[in-house]
Chains A and B, each alone.
Chain A
């Protein structure tokens, strides 16, 4: 068969597995997707934990974000769970990384462009970062709501 190569000739292929990856997303997205930070749950009954569940399964994007806030208003811990594409998982993972250690006022000022510019999301995926921003703000709102509720009691 004319295609059979002789012994000793090595054919190198340019399409290495890593190249297949790089053609899609930026390294940061792959990093957060393969090694997501802060996956999990916090106790949602805890007064110091604000929880949020945003998105729609029919749109293919649902983010659950929980924040544990200390007495001084600093976010001590954050956990997330996401049903969504690689960008959505990376956005929510990066979001938790950003807000841990921040004051809730600072955290609520985070915009989706902070997230999408760090992850270098393509234009068609920007909405994933928008959902992550909504999740952060909703979680903080929930925490504030719980605090004012317990203050009223």
Chain B
């Protein structure tokens, strides 16, 4: 009797049948709780940001309620707990990139880390005779803007290296660009728009030989591809948590200790982070960052296999069903989760609008930015004027499912066909194909 009552009681608050939910969740988009509203678009914009891994969220929550102390409060257990948590997170992040925990400084994100690296190094070398920085034309805006500010305010000279049609920087160009008064070389690891991966190891060797500091913006690569700071020979590296399934609003700067890299702090205050970056450490987000780093280390191989499989699936299916599709960026030296495709004769924003109900992607086209200029990265890799407005960037990640990819491919193929039917340029293309590839002269009004 008691046993029956107990089982009935147990049945009443039995946990949800997990297997069924997991199966349906996998089908429709893997992170949604079954109670959350269906019908949101599939998320294929992983370069913009990534969802927070549930394991990371679990790790963060205690530090929002209960263990909410300031890690710099030395006098009570709230502070001691918080400090212990941030130091553990620091160790996890350091382990991910094979660095020492003392070399990791937490910031508010990769933008701040990049600013700290570029402006911090420049400030330190101010007046020492070093007045030159080498960077590339395809860097993230924060690096380009920081260099611009140094040019304008402090009179530094900056060389912006060109890239080839794959988006790769030539090692010879880099050698030639480094001068005697060069203080810093800053080259990003994986480009956020086209996914091209630069040969950092060789560049690190060149910089070491010429005794120049080498900084890399690794926001898009840390946690996704193996990054070993000792192997790459970098002196400074920027990391972003929200690109590796961690929380937004936190990042880190790796600053090498042997041989010593000296920087001037950009943010002054109470002297936290050994004076390098003042400000109360945001314990919950830093703990999340550490947890994300730990999860990434464990899942890296699986993630890479998963993303590569989905990339091949998407790329092959789209190029089989649609003619005149171009992949922007290097086909071999790339991170597979970044698929930037140009759809000839279809304008990017109109394609985005058609897909908006079902898929969240991003475009390199002008119409989506405030100015009418197309993406500077696409322009730097020499994408022709006709194709500059036609590109779309798909981002694949840990939580992207094959079902989402298939659905996206179907939607893209359908919408591109519809928009091509509406496009006068596609009409001209078809006529040209009919007359054996010779484009007829077009009279423009």
Chain A interface residues toward B at CB < 8 A = 1-5, 7, 9-13, 15-17, 20-21, 24, 33, 36, 39, 41, 52-54, 57-64, 81-86, 88-89, 124, 127, 134-135, 138-139, 141-142
> Could you say which residues of chain A place their CB within 8 Å of the CB of B54?
1, 3
Measured in the bound complex, the distance between the Cα atoms of B361 and A20 in whole Å is 13
Q: Name which of B135-143, B329-337, B344-352 contacts chain A.
A: B344-352
Contact with B41, one of A12, A20, A134, A139 (Cβ below 8 angstroms): A20
Per-residue contact bits, chain B 422-435, to A (CB 8 Å; 1 contact, 0 not): 11111100000000
Measured in the bound complex, the distance between the Cα atoms of B41 and A80 in whole Å is 31
Cβ B35 vs Cβ A60 within 8 A: no
Contact with A17, one of B39, B346, B424 (Cβ below 8 angstroms): B39
Min CB gap A81→B, angstroms: 4
Contact with A85, one of B350, B357, B426 (Cβ below 8 angstroms): B350
Is B374's CB within 8 Å of the partner chain A?
yes
Cβ B37 vs Cβ A12 within 8 A: yes
Min CB gap A58→B, angstroms: 3
Cβ A82 vs Cβ B424 within 8 A: yes
Query: Main SS of chain B's interface residues?
Result: loop
Cβ B422 vs Cβ A82 within 8 A: yes
Contact with A62, one of B349, B357, B424 (Cβ below 8 angstroms): B424
**In this complex, which of A60, A82, A141 has the most chain B Cβ atoms within 10 angstroms of its Cβ?**
A60
Is B4's CB within 8 Å of the partner chain A?
no
Cβ B388 vs Cβ A58 within 8 A: yes
Cβ A15 vs Cβ B388 within 8 A: no
Taking A17-B39, A85-B365 as known contacts, 6 extra A-B pairs with beta carbons closer than 8 A to each other, sorted by chain A number, are A17-B357, A36-B422, A57-B389, A83-B426, A86-B349, A86-B353
Min CB gap A49→B, angstroms: 14
Cβ A60 vs Cβ B423 within 8 A: no
Per-residue contact bits, chain B 405-445, to A (CB 8 Å; 1 contact, 0 not): 00000000000000001111111000000000000001111
Min CB gap B384→A, angstroms: 9
**In this complex, which of B372, B385, B445 has the most chain A Cβ atoms within 10 angstroms of its Cβ?**
B445
Is B356's CB within 8 Å of the partner chain A?
yes
Min CB gap A105→B, angstroms: 19
Cβ B366 vs Cβ A4 within 8 A: no
Q: A1-B58, A81-B424 are in contact. Are A9 and B35 (CB under 8 A)?
A: yes
Measured in the bound complex, the distance between the Cα atoms of B421 and A36 in whole Å is 12
Measured in the bound complex, the distance between the Cα atoms of B422 and A57 in whole Å is 15
Measured in the bound complex, the distance between the Cα atoms of B366 and A85 in whole Å is 10
Measured in the bound complex, the distance between the Cα atoms of B422 and A10 in whole Å is 42
> Could you say which residues of chain B place their CB within 8 Å of the CB of A64?
424, 427
> Could you say which residues of chain B place their CB within 8 Å of the CB of A59?
372, 389
Cβ B424 vs Cβ A58 within 8 A: no
> Could you say which residues of chain A place their CB within 8 Å of the CB of B320?
none
Min CB gap A99→B, angstroms: 16
Measured in the bound complex, the distance between the Cα atoms of B39 and A13 in whole Å is 11
> Could you say which residues of chain B place their CB within 8 Å of the CB of A61?
347
Cβ B33 vs Cβ A81 within 8 A: no
Is B36's CB within 8 Å of the partner chain A?
yes
Min CB gap A24→B, angstroms: 8
Contact with A138, one of B37, B41, B445 (Cβ below 8 angstroms): B445
Q: A53-B443, A54-B444 are in contact. Are A60 and B422 (CB under 8 A)?
A: no
> Could you say which residues of chain B place their CB within 8 Å of the CB of A36?
422
Smallest Cβ-Cβ distance to B444: which chain A residue: A53
Measured in the bound complex, the distance between the Cα atoms of B444 and A142 in whole Å is 11
Cβ B424 vs Cβ A83 within 8 A: yes
Cβ A57 vs Cβ B35 within 8 A: no
> Could you say which residues of chain B place their CB within 8 Å of the CB of A52?
445
Contact with B347, one of A10, A12, A84, A141 (Cβ below 8 angstroms): A84
Q: A17-B41, A41-B427, A53-B445 are in contact. Are A86 and B385 (CB under 8 A)?
A: no
Measured in the bound complex, the distance between the Cα atoms of B54 and A2 in whole Å is 11
Contact with A11, one of B37, B356, B386 (Cβ below 8 angstroms): B37
Is B380's CB within 8 Å of the partner chain A?
no
Cβ A62 vs Cβ B385 within 8 A: no
Min CB gap A124→B, angstroms: 6
Min CB gap B84→A, angstroms: 22
Measured in the bound complex, the distance between the Cα atoms of B443 and A54 in whole Å is 10
Smallest Cβ-Cβ distance to B384: which chain A residue: A58
**In this complex, which of B16, B35, B41 has the most chain A Cβ atoms within 10 angstroms of its Cβ?**
B35
Smallest Cβ-Cβ distance to A64: which chain B residue: B424
Q: A39-B421, A84-B350 are in contact. Are A16 and B367 (CB under 8 A)?
A: no
Per-residue contact bits, chain B 15-53, to A (CB 8 Å; 1 contact, 0 not): 010000000000000000101110111000000000000
Smallest Cβ-Cβ distance to A52: which chain B residue: B445
Measured in the bound complex, the distance between the Cα atoms of B349 and A71 in whole Å is 40
Measured in the bound complex, the distance between the Cα atoms of B354 and A98 in whole Å is 24
Cβ A142 vs Cβ B35 within 8 A: no
Cβ B37 vs Cβ A60 within 8 A: no
Smallest Cβ-Cβ distance to B369: which chain A residue: A124
30 A–B contacts, CB within 8 A, in A order: A3-B54, A11-B35, A11-B37, A12-B37, A13-B36, A13-B37, A13-B40, A17-B39, A17-B41, A20-B357, A33-B350, A33-B354, A52-B445, A53-B424, A57-B385, A57-B389, A60-B349, A60-B366, A60-B367, A63-B424, A81-B424, A83-B347, A83-B423, A83-B425, A84-B350, A85-B348, A85-B350, A86-B350, A135-B445, A141-B445
